[in-house]
Amino acid sequence: MSPNTTKFVSGRLKEARDARGIPTLITLASLLNVNTSSVSRWEDGQSVPSGEKLLDLAEKLNLRPSYFLRPMFNHGDGPVFFRSLASARKRDIGRQRARLRWLQEISIVIQHYIDLPELDTPDLLHGESYQTLRDEDIERIAEELRIYWKLGSDPVANVVDLIERHGFFVGADEMGTTALDGLCNWSSFNSRPYIMLAKDKMSFFRRQMDAAHEMSHAILHKGVSDEALKQDFDLIEAQAFRLASAFLMPAKAFALAVRVPTLSRLMVLKDHWHVSIKAMIRRCKDLALVSPEEERQLYKYYSAKGWSKEEPLDRTVPVASPRMLGQALGLIVSSGIRTKEELLANEFTVKAHDVESLLCLDDGWFSKKTGQLFNFEWTEGRKRGEQFEPGEVVSFAQMIPRRKAD
């Protein structure tokens, strides 16, 4: 039986097209064997596809038909921050923006059943605008954040694990390009910062900086508008990098450890500070530990050694992957709240492979019999082992119980 398409959500079509990397309406129309004008009217909300065409659309885009019937969540109008090179294509950025929305929706399903760690970040701007920040202000913010999180001046062993413990929601994805490193977005739906990291650049040390960089956007630029991001993009990116560097390499401790900034010395320190040699050269410049000429020489020797593509130790340390959301999903399954089949049939409208990829679960996780375990609290009102009757897909905004104010 063909589904009723009167509740077709036009915005879902654009989101799905972006997430699947389909650049134009012409391309999609060709896949569906329909006129481009028909697809254009569906995406503009001027008409809806027939039930038969909706099934075909879902099949071609590898989604469940209910994906196109579920209302979109309102995550607010905050921008998505990209750590990207100038060469990043608009299509690649659009794809990752859409897949970040998928990560957010997956997390909302999980939060329906599991109480995840509360967001634990202080207000470090103290009412000031990011536009007024000087380098010394950013160094102070890094120090205050370290004090708040009780890190002292020690190296951060695993940034991904650290920010997950403090309430950041983190995923990862194959971005299909080396021009993108990560994304960050504050969702007003649940007042959470979301971070998505690239799987394409698989180095633990690079991921440390990527995660810290996106964390820095969440700390410094929560209230920035899309227009301000476009206008002050270079400033905003420079601030995020400076805070990430200062957070990972606190000024006094790092300067004391470096002593004489040579490549051999930085190579030794790489294993201690858990950051790349290139990032340490930049930090030496920021702290005036090297002159501009000495910085140029370090980069010259760095490039001559072929380290621009791969540094020493890059292959010896496993890459840190996000774990919290994947382990929470495993708890839902292993505790009998929902089976994997029920989650795919009633909760998630994207396919198993997309959930596995975004949550860094093993390929084929949904085909395995057991889930993963993690120590979370149960959402108020939900009992361990409580069974739910399957039903038609409805908006999660209707299903999630309201919380009492603190």
CATH for 54: 1.10.260.40
Same domain membership, residue 217 and residue 119: yes
Task: Evaluate if residue 382 carries a pLDDT over 90.
Answer: no
What is the CATH classification number for the domain harbouring 191?
Answer: 1.10.10.2910
Question: Two tokens at 281?
Answer: 């050269």
Same domain membership, residue 161 and residue 266: no
Task: Evaluate if residue 392 carries a pLDDT over 50.
Answer: no
Same domain membership, residue 86 and residue 61: no
Same domain membership, residue 132 and residue 187: yes
Q: What is the pLDDT of residue 248?
A: 98
Same domain membership, residue 108 and residue 238: yes
The answer to whether 298 and 290 have CB atoms below 8 angstroms apart is yes
Cα separation, 81 vs 246, in Å, equals 20
Q: Coil, helix or strand for 377?
A: strand
Same domain membership, residue 298 and residue 185: no
Same domain membership, residue 34 and residue 101: no
Cα separations (Å) of 278 from 136, 242, 266? 22, 14, 9
Residue 34 lies in a domain: yes
Choosing from 269, 289, 315, the residue where a domain stops is 315
Residue 2 lies in a domain: no
Same domain membership, residue 326 and residue 188: yes
Cα separations (Å) of 241 from 83, 180, 257? 9, 15, 21
pLDDT level of residue 327 (50, 70, 90 thresholds): very high
Looking up tokens 């370090």 gives: 298
The answer to whether 15 and 350 have CB atoms below 8 angstroms apart is no
Q: 222-265 pLDDT, tens per residue?
A: 989 999 999 999 999 999 999 999 999 999 999 999 999 999 99
Q: What is the β-pairing status of strands 192-198 and 169-173? A: parallel
Same domain membership, residue 264 and residue 126: no
Alpha carbon distance, N-terminus to C-terminus of the chain: 47
Residue 3 lies in a domain: no
* Helical H segments across 221-323, by residue range: 226-231, 233-248, 251-258, 263-273, 277-286, 292-304
Residue 191 lies in a domain: yes
Residue 278 lies in a domain: yes
Lowest mean pLDDT among 61-65, 115-119, 159-163, 401-405: 401-405
Residue 388 lies in a domain: no
Question: Which amino acid does the sequence have at 138?
Answer: I
Same domain membership, residue 130 and residue 22: no
Residue 4 lies in a domain: no
Same domain membership, residue 225 and residue 91: yes
**Region for 60 from its dihedrals, namely left if φ exceeds 0, alpha if ψ lies in -120 to 50, beta otherwise:** alpha
Task: Evaluate if residue 402 carries a pLDDT over 70.
Answer: no
Cα separation, 34 vs 46, in Å, equals 16
Same domain membership, residue 348 and residue 268: no
Q: What is the pLDDT of residue 397?
A: 36
Structural domain total, the chain: 3
Q: What is the pLDDT of residue 395?
A: 37
Give the domain extent around 207: 73-248+319-382+393-406
Contacts of 137 (CB under 8 A, 6+ apart): 128
Choosing from 37, 68, 99, the residue where a domain stops is 68
Average pLDDT of span 48-58: 96
- For the chain, what is the mean pLDDT? 90
Q: What is the pLDDT of residue 90?
A: 83
Residue 330 lies in a domain: yes
The answer to whether 365 and 372 have CB atoms below 8 angstroms apart is no
